[in-house]
Chains A and B, each alone.
Chain A
Amino acid sequence: MVLNSFSFLVFFSIVFLLYYIIFKSNSKTQNLLILIASYVFYGIVDLTMIPLLFVSTGITYALGLKIHQTTDERMSTIYTNIGVVLAIGMLVYFKYFNFFIDSFNQTFQAIGLKSNIGTFNILMPLGISFFTFKLISYLIDINRGKIEPTRDFINYAAFIAFFPTILSGPIDKPHLFIPQLEKKRNFNYVLITDGLKQILWGLALKMIIADNLAVTVNAVWADLDNQNGVILLITAVLYSFQLYTDFAGYSSMAIGVGKVFGITISKNFDQPFFARNLAEYWRKWHMSLTSWLTDYIFMPLNIKFRDLGNNGIILAILINMFVVGMWHGANWTFAVFGIYHGLLFIPLIRSGAFFKKKRLKPNKHNLPVFSDVKKMIGTFLLVTLGLVIFRAPDVSTLAKYIINIFDISAITFNSLQGLGFATSIYAILLTIVLIIVEWKTRKQEHGLAHFGVSWNSPWRYVVYYALILAIFWFGGGEQQFLYTQY
């Protein structure tokens, strides 16, 4: 069941009515419903992994209490490490075990030695990369004294399994999320309607733009040998927008669903394509992951390497970005992706730009100034190249893509048609509209946040109907969200 499916609409409607009519008495009943709904949701998606989710939740809950109860700092660290190792071990086993075996075999074969270690038929639980990080942050935050463990298992389990975010994030921090569960969420008309508008916005991004750009992007990647440089360059740009609208669309929907239930979920995107350098980009892209890694990987490493000065920061960044890459999956292309971004940080650190956060100041026409536009385009191109690495199924295909970019043979109309450019042309035009809308609404939470606030409701409804019809018209079948695979 994906968030943009009819079955999710039915599920969501039922849970919404139960939440505010039957289970509304207090926070405990509301949280119980959220927990049940979350496990039902996850069960529909991946029934066999319910025990894993439940057991890992139970173990980390118990460890959280133990960490807090013990007065011995050494013991609390041990308990924390046990929990972290178990969580990471779970992630490594399901996600990376076969990758390590394959890499091990290939390395041995490359140096002329025989290795026949077989891989296992391991099915990766959906959302494991996301909920594992929540488990880890809970334990570490307790150990650091940032939060106290919750005594209510239902609250904790609801936090871990929260259905809008379990599959593709955002990755919420326990100190921001769990306190919300401890208060009763009253029916808030304004918040709920804003949530519904944000869901609509997310659906539009995903179904109108992302899914239609995917037609051309997938067609090109499936037939790289027959593409010339111009098509590959265009496709790279299209993929950047496809990934953004797909993932931001999902996040928008998840945040909107959270709002409907009176729960604030962390923002995950902040118009990343207006970033003027990579440091700014990573502060605006997949913000919950960046924040998590900053808190639990980068900052501890930065402290550890502080004696090395800027070189220490570079080292911490390289490790951090390597983890960013590998978090996405068990493939050397993700490692290359991470290292690529890490290396691009070096000039920023050396020049000091890494440490500066300069506010974007538009000109008198409320447009970005030319110098900022140049930086945005430059950053976008660097990000786009990184996303080519990200998209490639393996290193040899990546190399083929990069090499073929220099093929300057002519494009024909037929070749464009065969790649589904006719389908994508609407998405391309709408992407241009999206860039304009994103610029105009950059201080708002989402594209429809303040839309038509001063309009009469019939006109607002006309636009909402047009958007819904466009979603139906341009939307394909129930396409999986890209980040569900990570």
Chain B
Amino acid sequence: MFKLIKKVFIFALPLIIGGVCLELALRNIPNDYRNKNIYLETKGSEIETLVLGSSHSFLGVNPKYFSKNTFNACHVSQSINYDLAILIKNKDNLPNLKQIVLSVDYLTFSWIIDGSLEGWRSKNYPIYYGVSPVSFSDNFELTSTKFSSSIDQIRRYYQYNNTIVRADEKGWAADAKSGLDNDLEVSGVKNANDHITVSDTSHYSKNHEMFTELLDLCKASGIKVLLYTPPAFSSYRKTIHQNQIDKSILTAEVASKNYSNCEYINLYKDSRFGEKDYFDGNHLNDLGAKKLSLILNDIIEN
């Protein structure tokens, strides 16, 4: 028995050492999750407005245009469970937090990142934010993504110094530049179809519970919440299932009525956003982000 254990251990040792080295190499690569967590931990006391949400807010809300000290704690495909987890985990780091900005969109109540096609991103939360993992493999970079992708990432960073960091110091995705020739008609339809495919209304109840928990937490702490539905290009709006976005909007409207600390603005079809403001069918570029940020700031300040 012990002979077998010894043999297996000796056999596995190079794999374990190799695995540990690769894991450390991966964790050492700068990324938005680590950077944002460090910011929240070290400069959280300065933050007065915190932006939570997915890529709509990651690209669409630029803290630079807010009057108060604002930080964008959004990530691509971040679902409501991680919005809540980040807030809970950093409660003590944010003593001066007065305002949350949270997007409510097509997928807010009908999708969760864990176990989805985007589920490979879930590991970033336990590893870099220290929140509880959903599955055991979420504790490690190597067990959460394709091995070949991990090697490729290591090679690109250590050999070519290619970074995967997209956010600026305040957390806004600085790479969605205007002037790029992205076909908004095509991307709008494609993104809408992708969202329709992954949408699952069975998540509604659980997600709504977490949404309510977030609102309750803010109310108890005297924090205001600004809910907003981000603008989307016409091609996206025409393709998406109207009853589902209507349900999200209605949920946000009801929340703003039931919570005295909560306000909601629907910018889904807002005419102030034109073609020049979009990066793709449902994400804003830097011009659109400026516009949106100023609108949100205006509501917060007034």
A residues with CB within 8 A of B: 5-7, 10, 20-21, 187, 189, 192-193, 196, 461, 464-465, 468, 472-478
Contacts and interface: CB of A to CB of B under 8 A. Distances in A.
B137 A476 contact: no
A192 B4 contact: yes
B134 to A, nearest CB: 11
Nearest to B119: A477
Interface string B57-93: 0000000000000000000000000000000000000
B141 to A, nearest CB: 12
Most buried by A among B140, B143, B145: B143
A2 to B, nearest CB: 11
A468 B15 CA distance: 9
B158 interface: no
B1 A472 contact: no
Contacts of A461: 11
Interface in B39-68: none
Nearest to B139: A6
Given A464-B11, A468-B15, A189 B137 contact: no
A224 B36 CA distance: 43
B148 A473 contact: yes
A477 B11 contact: no
A472 B147 contact: yes
Contacts of A7: 135-137
Interface in B103-155: 119-120, 135-137, 140, 143-148, 151
Most buried by B among A196, A464, A472, A474: A472
Contact of A6 (B4, B120, B137, B148): B137
Interface residues of B, number: 20
Given A468-B15, A477-B145, A193 B4 contact: yes
B272 interface: no
Given A468-B15, A477-B145, 15 more contacts: A5-B137, A7-B135, A10-B136, A187-B4, A189-B4, A193-B4, A196-B8, A472-B147, A473-B148, A474-B148, A475-B147, A476-B146, A477-B144, A477-B146, A478-B137
A-side interface mostly? helix
Given A461-B11, A468-B15, A473 B147 contact: yes
B142 to A, nearest CB: 9
Contacts of B119: 477
A80 to B, nearest CB: 39
A6 B143 contact: yes
B126 to A, nearest CB: 14
Most buried by A among B3, B14, B119, B147: B147
29 contacts: A6-B136, A6-B137, A6-B143, A7-B135, A7-B136, A7-B137, A10-B136, A20-B1, A21-B1, A187-B1, A187-B4, A189-B3, A189-B4, A192-B4, A193-B4, A196-B8, A461-B11, A464-B11, A468-B15, A472-B147, A473-B151, A474-B148, A475-B146, A477-B119, A477-B120, A477-B144, A477-B145, A477-B146, A478-B137
B300 to A, nearest CB: 40
Contacts of A464: 11
A192 B143 CA distance: 26
Q: Across chains A and B, which 4 residue pairs bring their CB atoms closest together, nearest first?
A: A7-B136, A472-B147, A6-B143, A187-B1
